[in-house]
Structure 1
């Protein structure tokens, strides 16, 4: 296994130094080349003066370039008249003899007649010969060097883009079409096991069976069963889908190929499908094996029916190749595909059918018991206080995912270190939860006394109404310290319900509107501070009317489309129904707003006492509300709910 891993991951080394060597060789030839002496030309007037001295041994008349090569007699080049323009020869044997200087002539016949006349008139004895310029090695090198450099740079860039690999087979160019999957060796790479995955009991049971399929296939095939082709992990972000896949890799003891859906995407056409083929080819060669594709929605999105632009052709070709490899004519039975996504609703139906992803494993947010197990895992490396209660921490984090809990533990350790503590205490975890949910505390934010008073009564209104209605979430604390984008906040501990009744939703809406109602009761004015409250209640009221069928006027009808095909441009109801929906949403919200005002009018003195205490302390807790209001009228109901939880 280890050797196979090395073969997969090992990439041939590539060095660009051969390009630099070629350039250096070319420069050497230019420096030492004794070619036709293009830099040694003299004027024709100067030549007429020099030819009289009878120091010329030979003149070669080059007919095709109209250049005459002048060769001097031995020792003549050292004379004073020649030293300014005759270069010293390098004496390279392989380059041959080179002229001392050259001249340019205009007409061949006239120049030859001139040489004959000068030779007769001055009784000179130099030799006259005709020749043609042939392409020298340097000239050839100069002409082809740009093309060589362009090709070399292109090869270098393409190898860099493909990760340094060599040319691939099957028509693949420079390894671009090769799979980018990493092959994990269970002996050295994978240390995660199912013991490291807290919670997720149902999901672990499903994937453990897949591991058992690979370890003992005869146990199932002997009864006529078939090993499943694939398993799709579906769930919100941070719930542990990738961690579960790592645990499968650590437990399976078989080759495990891991990559992301975006690894198939490339700028070149056909690369995605080529990488899919190469991935399954490698997996089949090492079967039994597991392929894990994280964020498969990058390539598994539903194919469009009206694709006029053709912009998605490459992604669709990649998906088609994946469909063929998972359940086509050439399917091998010993390769299991695992994938993870938090957007299962947008995946192509052909990808989701039985025979490809036979199992869909839902990885939900952890409940209170699973959160306790996750806390215990992440608390192990921390120096925590001896009396730290993990049950309390799990109750304080409803709706938190495994990643959120890991972040809470890390943030609590940072807060404790910032305060100079030697152990992480309960309050550090509470501060970490506030930091993650509400944002960074901003005690130095500039706020006027009038605004601070308004915020205090607003938050006191939330606390008062939630204390007086039956089904509102239990209050934890109220603060007017600015945090994140908010100037104040009321913190609740919502019950973890699987079903929500109408009266529960209405009580929550009434408590949410308590802030604006308090401003109206105390100042007879309202502000923009209730924006998030209004957004929340509007969504709740619309869901009651159009999704859950909890409105008498609309009836037992839902306009929710679970298939995700709602494009937002058309409504599944008439204009008359739309008017009724709008009116019912408005009536629900206004009714709960007036209910909140009535409750606050009846308890105005207690509301004022609570707001003044909040202005004094800036943060108040549940015990402060008990001191002002006494026990909640529905205390028995709350305690029974807590016991059930």
Structure 2
């Protein structure tokens, strides 16, 4: 037989419980046959009536033990009216051969036997016999509880030991086993770098890991050591897990995948045991990759939030992970990949060289990478021919790969809802609006006064952003309620790597344009500016306390990149500095609010005109603003879309 011949997959596997059930049925059948059962109901009778039947010669045979007796009638008696209640046929359709009656003979079986012997001698009884008190049925019934307990115990033992199904990570006897899922390099892993759109920088950096696994001798022959691990860091949905799968697919090696929370259990020592078992399996299948998703579940810095006592199970798991990563030899060819979006909270010992030697940042895709991601997710869709992926990429700034996949799926649902045969440009724009702003609520009751206030608010945003140099230019404004907002404005911000103070101030001024417009037109303000106030307060606080852009505080930041500030019980500045911070934040916001009021006062008529068009059409675009305000003073190109309510 050749070595590569596979076993017959159609071979039938019989469960042991089927065998147990068959044995039990055979025992029951044997008992029924051996006991001579007639498959018929046996009627009870009294001892005195039995003696009447016996004296009148109606009884043919009696079988008795110490307490009970079974009575067999002769044919003549069976056909008489006295015994007409006795069925002539049994359940199988055959003649009822008995026993026909059963009776309790009490404790004096010797007297009963004497009566039977006298009747036999007189010719009134053909035969009688005695049998032991217990038979197989009685024994089975007596031992049935014990049999059931043993069967239940065997069942639970198989369940707790994993049931032979290869799992068992959550069972009691294998609770210390790793819960990692193994992707076989020949069958399971189909993802390669071709399937990962964008992420060019991360792919280039992680390509070396593939080379280490494919050709380790190239590096070890000149004295180099294979890196122990690589940490993928980035926002959610950017493709960290997909990138790790692509590494395994390219390298064609076994890939152990699990989450950081899979190590955590309520029992002491389980996490450490699972870590040991995981690395043991990986070494046996080396070269291989271990991928731990969301490693911050177990890799959080030790001793910072240990309120549960000195013996913290999570810390024990982390200690074992540190030991395994630093303990297995350099020639085992096992590389650990981990992913997290909270690298700032990881333990320093985990991040040192020799454990996670490399940190690969997986950032949000830029416009070129978004175009590539769109092309991947558009393949399964039926799309119109004129659909431009570059345009779609411009409409989705700040979107991750997962967000783009969601946009593509949502656009297909919208097109199907409208009865279209293909997805077009408008479906994608509607999908972006749906995801960013929420679902339209056209049936929401809005009074005319509220509608005008909303229109003035949104027109204020549009007017101020149109007049400022560094504010994002407008794409469209709507007063149709969407999600939790009563209106929304879509803008085209630039993709900046650094932001200057004047750019932040212009954005803050445009954000305050809504409330400023209410003040200018109605001389009143409302609660509709909540999201604007929240956004502008965060921006002002960041300018003062994070980026050091405030002249009064100077070049100082209170930002803690290690992420440990959440465990501190005191602020990193004095009470006097806190007062200065509060005042500077307030002054920044109020100054931009006053600036917005000034801009709107200068364009009050155009503001009202824009609001009237908005009330009439409910949705206005860039062309409507150009018709009212003329060409934008500081027009820019290469822009993209974002939303501000």
Residue 374 of structure 1 is matched in structure 2 by 373
Q: Deviations over 1:217-251 (max 9, x none)?
A: 11111221111112221211111112212221221
CA distance in 1, matches of 2:169, 2:425: 61
Which SS does the other structure have where 1:458 is aligned?
Answer: helix
Q: What's 2:400 paired with?
A: 401
> Structure 1 residue 562 and structure 2 residue 561: aligned?
yes
2:505 corresponds to 1:506: yes
SS in structure 2 of the partner of residue 245 of structure 1:
helix
Deviation string, structure 1 residues 591-637 (Cα, Å, up to 9, x no partner)? 222222222112211211211222233222223223322334444xx
Q: Distance in 1 between matches of 2:562 and 2:292?
A: 24
Q: Contact 1:229 / 1:333 at 8 angstroms: preserved in 2?
A: no
Question: Are the aligned partners of 2:306 and 2:312 in contact in 1 as well (CA < 8 Å)?
Answer: no
Counterpart-to-counterpart distance in 1, 2:371 and 2:63? 101
Q: How does 1:181-196 map to 2 (within 5 A)?
A: 181-196=180-195
TM-score of the superposed pair, with normalisation by structure 1: 0.80
Q: CA offsets, 1:433-461, max 9 Å, x none?
A: 22221122333433222211111110010
The 1-side partners of 2:43 and 2:101 are apart by 5
> Aligned residue for 2:289?
290
**1:316-355 pair list within 5 angstroms:** 318-328=317-327, 333-355=332-354
Give the C-alpha shift of residue 181 in structure 1.
Answer: 4.0
Equivalenced residues, count? 624
Give the whole-Å Cα distance in 2 for the aligned partners of 1:485 and 1:454: 16
Per-residue CA distance 1:385-406 (angstroms, 9 max, x = gap): 5554444332322111122223
Give per-residue Cα distances to partners, 1:540-594, cap 9 Å, x unaligned: 2222333333334444443333333344783314444444433333332222222
User: Which residue number in structure 2 is paired with residue 605 of structure 1?
Assistant: 605
Pairing of 1:221-370 with structure 2 (within 5 A): 221-264=220-263, 273-302=272-301, 306=306, 308=308, 313=313, 318-328=317-327, 333-370=332-369
Q: Please tell me whether the aligned partners of residues 545 and 558 of structure 2 are also in contact (alpha carbons under 8 angstroms).
A: yes
Return the alpha-carbon distance in structure 1 between the equivalents of residues 148 and 588 of structure 2.
75
Moved more, 244-253 or 402-411: 402-411
Contact 1:69/1:102 (CA < 8 Å) preserved in 2? yes
Q: Would the aligned equivalents of 1:165 and 1:175 in 2 still touch at CA under 8 Å?
A: no
Please report the RMSD computed on the Cα atoms of aligned residues, expressed in angstroms: 4.6
In structure 1, stretches of 5+ residues that fail to align are: 91-97
Separation in 2, partners of 1:501, 1:5: 66
Shift of 1:317: 5.3
Match for residue 21 of structure 1? 22
Aligned pairs for 1:103-502 (under 5 A) are: 104=104, 112=110, 133-134=133-134, 136-152=135-151, 165=164, 179-264=178-263, 273-302=272-301, 306=306, 308=308, 313=313, 318-328=317-327, 333-382=332-381, 384=383, 388-416=387-415, 418-419=417-418, 424-502=423-501
Q: Could you list the per-position Cα deviations for residues 256-275 of structure 1 after superposition, in whole angstroms to 9, with x for gaps in the alignment?
A: 33344455566777665555
CA separation of 1:556 and 1:167: change in aligned 2, threshold 3 A: closer
Q: Is the 8 A contact 1:481 1:618 kept in 2?
A: yes
Q: Which residue of 1 aligns with 2:549?
A: 550
SS in 1 for 2:410: helix
- Partners of 1:464 and 1:171 in 2: how far apart? 61
Shift of 1:253: 2.1
TM-score, length basis structure 2: 0.80
